[in-house]
Amino acid sequence: MSDSPKLVRRPEWTALEDHRAAQLHPQLRELFAADPERAERYVVTVGDLRIDYSKHLITDETLALLQELATATGVSGLRDAMFRGEKINATEDRAVLHTALRAPRDAVIEVDGENVVPQVHAVLDKMANFADRVRSGEWTGHTGRRIRNVVNIGIGGSDLGPAMAYEALRAFTDRELTVRFVSNVDGADLHEATRDLDPAETLFIVASKTFTTIETITNATSARTWLLEGLGGDDKAVAKHFVALSTNAGKVSDFGIDTDNMFEFWDWVGGRYSYDSAIGLSLMIAIGPDRFREMLDGFHLVDEHFRTAPAGANAPLLLGLLGVWYGNFHDAQSHAVLPYSHYLSKFTAYLQQLDMESNGKSVDRDGNPVDWGTGPVVWGTPGTNGQHAYYQLIHQGTKLIPADFIGFVNPVAGLSDGLKAQHDLLMANFFAQTQALAFGKTPDEVRAEGVAEELVPHKTFKGNHPTTTILARELTPSVLGQLIALYEHKVFVQGAVWNIDSFDQWGVELGKVLAKRVEPALSEGADVPGLDSSTAALVATYRTLRDS
């Protein structure tokens, strides 16, 4: 048991409570008016990312107090232990080394006395060789036809990362290849992904860290049936059409995939931190090994920044602490991530797993219940669409919703001149929204427009909604890596302050166990002893209405 004081009894915590109580309504209008240099001072640049945090409900004192909390809770010590390969995932007795996945070839990072960097690069080289062979047509299917379709089968971290990054980097992909992602055990997902594909030209990538995940193994088994039916039933076809990404060679082999066709990763890579490992193979095939390596370099750049930048200019630390400020001292329950890029349409869904599976915890590292808030609900979709849907609530609702706005100065290459010209309109919305959220519109400003008095309250925007603006020149593989590493480390910082294990995910287990128990009741009408009356009635209804 730790003998350090409970988080909420630390003087650094109560100092923040007092600070919050003393400035009940810090107004962004006033903060900006009082400090003409605020916008220049509250900016941090990391690689290609310019991160403006001036539109937050903070002063220099707030930042100083938050930094003191980070120091008191040992954030930097835990960070260094993570980078050193110590087993900071205590409940699973594992190191947490996704940072090793993007370390340069000559780095030395040891787990249990063994340098893991050579293994990382050996797998990357094997992936690159395979990706090149598929992309060039040298790797053919069982009948000798070129592979034109790649279907990744995985779920959670074995799906969201590569699916998000494929979408994000679509402009860099080989457009001759069809790349799809199947995750849902709903048979409709595999059906829709394969219905117009030719099995002779289709490669399945079965992605599963454990290779025991029921959704993935079920879909992979159905995919194998689809393939063999399409290719005349010769089992040998599997070797040319199935590869595996996993830490579990035994299970891969049990499934019938030759371990020569397996791309390995390790138990020190968490599922939600894994798309820059072998789990990224589908992405590497789509964008090519060079682009994939550029992405890894982007990750590494931010890793180094997080590891070495001073506290006051350390972007993940600042963003993490701002989240603590709102979640714990302003009672914010959620955090919106609003990318102004169509290519980032899956970005927030990816972050949901990264953040909510990591920090959705209610006991501390010693197993004691926490009496402070932990991870927020993370949500959002690409910005302009959200503007015409839920932004109303952010602007005029009663909830405080801190938001990240992510935008790019230039559209990606490949758009026609006419479509490129639309980018200014997109970005005008991007800038306008953070401005409107921060500064609002006062009743007097509304009146000055001649608005009828009874409508003034409806047309008033109280403003003071905090946002971070992340701006980069262009969405490239490196910038994507930088963004993801930024959020990974932000999540880390918050878990460290809250003293929770951000790297386990026991909360997903109970539902899995219960599903296994209930499934025979649905398919065979088997009796499930001890079922509660609500679930029993629902199951009975299901059985009654089930066709066949």
Distance CA 125, CA 174 (A): 20
User: Which residue in the list 357, 395, 489, 490 is annotated as catalytic?
Assistant: 357
The reply to whether 508 sits near ligand F6P by the rule CB under 6 A is yes
- 10 Å Cβ neighbour count for 90? 13
The alpha carbon of 286 is separated from its chain's Cα centroid by a whole number of angstroms, namely: 20
Among 89, 216, 277, 282, binds ligand F6P (CB under 6 A): 216
The span of 35-43, 57-65, 172-180, 209-217 binding ligand F6P (CB under 6 A) equals 209-217
343, 483 Cβ separation under 8 angstroms = no
49-52 and 467-472: which strand pairing?
antiparallel
Residue closest to 220 by CA, chosen among 245, 249, 250: 245
User: Which residue in the list 330, 462, 512, 516 is annotated as catalytic?
Assistant: 512
Distance CA 546, CA 523 (A): 9
SS (H, E, C) 459-475: HCECCCCCEEEEEECCC
> Of 511 and 530, which has the nearer Cβ to ligand F6P?
511
Among 152, 208, 348, 433, binds ligand F6P (CB under 6 A): 208
Distance CA 371, CA 530 (A): 33
> Of 42 and 350, which has the nearer Cβ to ligand F6P?
350
Among 209, 291, 365, 395, binds ligand F6P (CB under 6 A): 209
Nearest distance, CB of residue 245 and ligand F6P, angstroms: 8
Q: Note if 357 is an active site residue.
A: yes
The reply to whether 272 sits near ligand F6P by the rule CB under 6 A is yes
Nearest distance, CB of residue 202 and ligand F6P, angstroms: 21
The reply to whether 142 sits near ligand F6P by the rule CB under 6 A is no
Helix/strand/coil percent split, the chain, to 5: 55, 10, 35
Q: Note if 388 is an active site residue.
A: yes
The reply to whether 155 sits near ligand F6P by the rule CB under 6 A is yes
Q: Note if 87 is an active site residue.
A: no
What φ, ψ does residue 138 adopt, rounded to 5°? -70, -40
Given the structure tokens 């590493």, which residue do they identify? 485
The reply to whether 210 sits near ligand F6P by the rule CB under 6 A is yes
The reply to whether 271 sits near ligand F6P by the rule CB under 6 A is yes
User: Which residue in the list 388, 449, 453, 524 is annotated as catalytic?
Assistant: 388
The alpha carbon of 205 is separated from its chain's Cα centroid by a whole number of angstroms, namely: 21
The reply to whether 221 sits near ligand F6P by the rule CB under 6 A is no
> Among residue numbers 345 through 374, which ones bind ligand F6P (CB under 6 A)?
357
> Of 20 and 251, which has the nearer Cβ to ligand F6P?
251
Nearest distance, CB of residue 121 and ligand F6P, angstroms: 22
Residue closest to 37 by CA, chosen among 54, 50, 62, 58: 54
Nearest distance, CB of residue 153 and ligand F6P, angstroms: 10
402, 318 Cβ separation under 8 angstroms = no
271, 358 Cβ separation under 8 angstroms = no
What φ, ψ does residue 56 adopt, rounded to 5°? -115, 160
Nearest distance, CB of residue 269 and ligand F6P, angstroms: 10
The residues annotated with a catalytic role in the active site are 357, 388, 512
Residues that bind ligand F6P (CB under 6 A): 155-158, 208-210, 213, 216, 271-272, 357, 505, 508
